[in-house]
């Protein structure tokens, strides 16, 4: 369940609300993420099976995430497999999500 960027989708609020099919939790996540990301997220947007699961995807991860787009275009499971690791986009992301960076470092150690 590790996303292209290194985040663990199994710990993501949207994933958990989807798995439990919990509308109250969807509404809560939508409210929190609207404030956090300064945008309008509705409860029905909170529907995601995970970055690499091949199912439903949260709209940001599906259409706006540059990291996921890059991995898909280069046929990489995640950034740990990339020859340009860590690029500037990824570095910027890891600054706000250090846990993703730790996860990618672990994956790279396993690849060696
Ligand atoms: S792909 Fe889905 S589960 Fe993974 S971080 Fe994005 S919204 Fe969460
Ligand atoms: S170029 Fe950057 S975003 Fe793209 S796969 Fe490599 S590390 Fe990830």
pTM summary value: 0.92
Q: How many CB atoms lie within 10 A of CB 76?
A: 15
pLDDT band at residue 112, thresholds of 50, 70 and 90?
confident
Give the count of domains, the chain. Answer: 1
Q: Is any ligand 1 atom within 6 A of the Cβ of residue 50?
A: yes
CA–centroid distance, residue 68 to ligand 2 (Å): 8
32 or 37: whose pLDDT is higher?
32
User: Which ligand 1 atom sits nearest the alpha carbon of residue 51?
Assistant: 1
Q: Give the pLDDT band (50/70/90) at residue 14.
A: very high
Residue 62 located in a structural domain: yes
Residue 3 lies in a domain: no
Q: Considering the domain boundaries, does residue 18 fall inside one?
A: yes
State the sign of the Cα–Cα–Cα–Cα dihedral 15, 89, 106, 80.
Answer: positive
Residue 29 belongs to domain spanning: 9-111
Asked if residue 108 has pLDDT above 90, the reply is: yes
Long-range contacts of 60-63 (CB under 8 A, 24+ apart): 61/3
The CA 88 to ligand 2 mean position distance, Å, reads 8
Which two structure tokens, joined as six digits, stand for 20? 């439990």
- The tokens describing 109, both together, are 């150690």
């Amino acid at each position: 369940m590790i996303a292209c960027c290194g985040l663990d989708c199994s710990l993501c609020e949207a994933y958990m609300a989807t798995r439990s099919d919990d509308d109250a939790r969807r509404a809560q996540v939508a409210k929190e993420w609207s404030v956090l990301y300064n945008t309008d997220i509705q409860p029905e947007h909170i529907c995601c099976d995970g970055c690499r699961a091949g199912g439903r995807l949260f709209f940001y991860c599906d259409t706006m995430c540059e990291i996921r787009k890059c991995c898909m275009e280069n046929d990489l499971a995640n950034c740990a497999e990339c020859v340009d690791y860590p690029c500037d986009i990824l570095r910027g992301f890891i600054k706000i999500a250090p846990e993703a960076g730790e996860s990618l470092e672990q994956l790279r150690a396993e690849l060696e």
